[in-house]
Amino acid sequence: MDCTASIIHTPIHDFIENTVASIEAAFELGADIVEIDIHPTTDGEFVVFHDWTLDCRTNGEGVVRKHDSTYLRSLDIGYGYTADGGDTFPFRGQFVGAMPTLNEVLTTFPNEKFLINIKGGNVEEAKLLTDYLLDNKSLNRDRLSVYGSGENIPEYAALNPDTVALHKNTAATCLKKYLLLGWSGYVPPECHKSFIPVPRNYQWLIWGWPNRFEERLTRVGSKPLLMGDHKKGSANSGIDDLESIPTEYGGIVFTNRIDIVGPNSAESISQ
């Protein structure tokens, strides 16, 4: 719930998250999957935006889902970014009208894969998103996976059984059971059809890490997801250096710095 736009590092490039331009840059630098955040709107659309409210990052006010897409797409979504406590706002005025709809993102990138964070926990949102994608068959929902911590995630998985779904609580249960029984090769049902997050500082605990663990997950329709260090009370962090990735690892790497760890990032996007 913090205003993360006010604690950014000094910008080294001209991108902000959840925009068509930044998504394109991530894929060009070698991302296999891009994570986006979505909210339903009052006019039946979904917009791609991180925060629950508009006040921190934009020149708008209020809860995102209480507005229609026309209003949301009129805002300056770079308005509130500052790296020096409010002395300067490097992105102000540069991202007016840049909040995309989910339809726009999926249409612009018709064959690319996305991990969608469905903001909010209401099960009704799972039904809304399911209907939205069914009504827009050209959006190719087979390349989409979802995650979150609310009841909307298991509901979405039930409505879309072929979709990979990551639920925070289920993933934690998966790892706990695997730590107890993984020596035998057993993969708990909570680990099936999902991405299984493994914090960098807990790799040593995982039975068969990394190759045997990955093989076992593949058999149940899952993949390991290598994260940054787990710290109690902190948000999920990414792997932002190549040295942290085992050379034999073939699973997914969660990163905030695709310009450093991406296969096509020999030159930083800052150059």
pLDDT at 270 over 60: no
Band of residue 271 on the pLDDT scale cut at 50, 70, 90: very low
Cα distance between residue 65 and residue 221, in whole Å: 33
- What mean pLDDT comes out for the span 32-61? 96
Cα distance between residue 139 and residue 105, in whole Å: 9
pLDDT at res. 82: 96
Q: For residue 154, give every residue at least 6 positions away whose Cβ sits within 8 Å of its Cβ, in sequence order, or none.
A: 165, 167, 170
- What mean pLDDT comes out for the span 178-205? 95
pLDDT at res. 11: 92
- Helix 152-159 to helix 123-135 angle (10° resolution) is 40
Q: What is the pLDDT of residues 81-91, one digit of tens each?
A: 999 999 999 99
Specify the CATH class of 1-163 in words: alpha beta
Average pLDDT, the chain: 92
CB 178 within 8 Å of CB 204: no
Band of residue 188 on the pLDDT scale cut at 50, 70, 90: very high
Please enumerate, as own/partner, the contacts of 121-127 that have beta carbons within 8 Å and a separation of 24 or more: 121/148, 121/149, 121/150, 121/151, 121/152, 122/150, 122/151, 122/152, 123/151, 123/152, 123/155, 124/152, 125/40, 125/152, 126/152, 126/153, 126/155, 126/156, 126/159, 127/155, 127/159
Q: Which residue has the tokens 């993933």?
A: 171
- What mean pLDDT comes out for the span 199-224? 95
pTM recorded for the entire structure: 0.92
CATH 3.20.20.190-classified regions of the chain: 1-163
pLDDT at res. 1: 61
Question: Is residue 161 reached through a cis peptide bond, with omega within 30 degrees of 0 on the bond before it?
Answer: no
pLDDT at res. 121: 85
pLDDT at 268 over 60: no
Q: What is the pLDDT of residues 66-124, one digit of tens each?
A: 999 999 999 999 999 999 999 999 999 999 999 999 999 999 999 999 999 999 888 99
Cα distance between residue 216 and residue 205, in whole Å: 16
| pLDDT over 90, % of the chain | 81
